[in-house]
Amino acid sequence: MWEVAAHVGPAAGLHSLDLPAGAGVVHQCIPSSRALVLGSTQPDAMVDAARAAAAGYSVARRRSGGGVVAVAADEVVWVDIVIAPDDPFWDDDVGRAGMWVGDAWCRALQSLGVTAGLAVHPGAPLRRELGRVVCFAGLGAGEVTAADTTGRPHKLVGLSQRRGRWGARFQTIVHRHWRPEDWAGCLAECPPGLGEALESVTDLSAVLGGSFLPTADEVTGALAQALSQR
């Protein structure tokens, strides 16, 4: 049975946690305040710090790549999983490496009543350049989409990874509420098509169609259960 380890703190501190590599634990990261988290290669100027502060967001940085991610305790479920190179889940192919994580998220969300055509993106990244600005504007291998009533896919679960000789750390986020209007104005760069891409994102409140919205603890527990049943 996979266990849940909860960590509470500012986003910067959660990203810098030295989590042990080992199967059987999902790390629930609970941000104590709102933050806009830059990807490892993004310049500081990507976010206007003054505007972010006025909107109630601090600015942090993570060591995995990709674009800006907005986090807040009541709006996201943030779960990290760390495995060693000798773990059965390990895959040397970076593109395939996170597929099992996406599969587990699908099973977890289905157990919570999400039936909106869940799928794990298997191929090359989509909207790569926009994803380098805002993580959820792009779509990469292992990330999960949910289909609307027309069958159009909308990104639901984001995934990034850090790899080294010690193993791989998969960082995943699903939004309970997706509110880009709260922070998009803090971005210094808004390339053409970004707004449309952000509209292609969905959240649990939408895909559950007015049903009971599970807490972050319940979602994390469902993910741990899904991993245990693999």
- Tell me the average pLDDT of the chain: 94
Percent of the chain at pLDDT exceeding 90: 87
Specify the pLDDT at position 121: 96
Specify the pLDDT at position 189: 82
Q: Could you give the domains of the chain?
A: 3-228 (3.30.930.10)
**At 21, is the pLDDT very low, low, confident or very high (cuts 50, 70, 90)?**
confident
Tokens of 98: 């996170």
Specify the pLDDT at position 226: 97
- 155 near 212, Cβ under 8 Å? no
Query: 36: part of which helix (H) or strand (E)?
Result: strand 35-38
* Among the listed residues 98, 104, 134, 97, the one whose alpha carbon sits nearest the alpha carbon of residue 118: 104
**At 202, is the pLDDT very low, low, confident or very high (cuts 50, 70, 90)?**
very high
Q: Is the pLDDT of residue 211 over 90?
A: no
How confident is the model over 30-89, as pLDDT tens digits?
A: 999 999 999 999 999 999 999 999 999 999 999 888 999 999 989 999 999 999 999 999
How confident is the model over 107-145, as pLDDT tens digits?
A: 999 999 998 899 999 988 899 999 999 999 999 999 999
Sequence letter at residue 202: T
Alpha helices in the chain (DSSP H): 11-15, 49-54, 99-111, 128-131, 194-199, 204-207, 216-228
Please tell me the pTM assigned to this model: 0.95
Find the mean pLDDT for residues 167-182. 96
Sequence letter at residue 6: A
